[in-house]
């Protein structure tokens, strides 16, 4: 029989760590960005904000992410997030390294 986890009297769920597109989505909501928008408008509104792209806290600024996509106009928030998703995914994969990839491949 498993032991129950210690109770701290706090019934609130722990906060989730947001990264990648989820973190960017939250920043868009905070900045009250309206669409359609150009890359320049988004850079002005969000540009220097660092967006974590993995659970380890590594991050990328919105300006840097926008520099990596060819699209300069975004009709809506979904189009913007879809365009930047591959940028965050690529950054996450580049940082992982050989050891992390091997660890993920092992069954234990």
pLDDT, position 70? 93
**Is 65 within 8 Å of 88 (Cβ atoms)?**
yes
Mean pLDDT, the chain, as a whole number?
Answer: 80
Say how many C-beta atoms besides its own lie within 10 A of residue 4's C-beta.
6
pLDDT, position 72? 95
CA 42 to chain centre: 16
**Structure-model confidence comparison of residues 16 and 2, the more confident one:** 16
Q: Which tens digits make up the pLDDT trace of 36-80?
A: 999 999 999 987 888 898 877 888 899 999 999 999 999 999 999
The values of phi and psi at residue 7, to 5°, are -95, 130
pLDDT, position 87? 93
Mean pLDDT of the 86-94 span:
87
């Amino acid at each position: 029989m498993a032991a129950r986890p210690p109770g701290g009297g706090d019934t609130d769920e722990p906060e989730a760590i947001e990264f990648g597109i989820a973190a960017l989505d939250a920043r868009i909501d905070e900045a009250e960005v309206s669409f359609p928008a150009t890359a320049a408008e988004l850079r002005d509104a969000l540009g220097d904000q660092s967006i974590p792209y993995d659970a380890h806290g590594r991050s990328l600024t919105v300006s840097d992410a926008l520099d990596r996509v060819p699209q300069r106009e975004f009709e809506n928030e979904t189009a913007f997030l879809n365009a930047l998703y591959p940028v965050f995914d690529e950054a996450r994969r580049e940082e992982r390294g050989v050891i992390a990839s091997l660890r993920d491949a092992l069954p234990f």
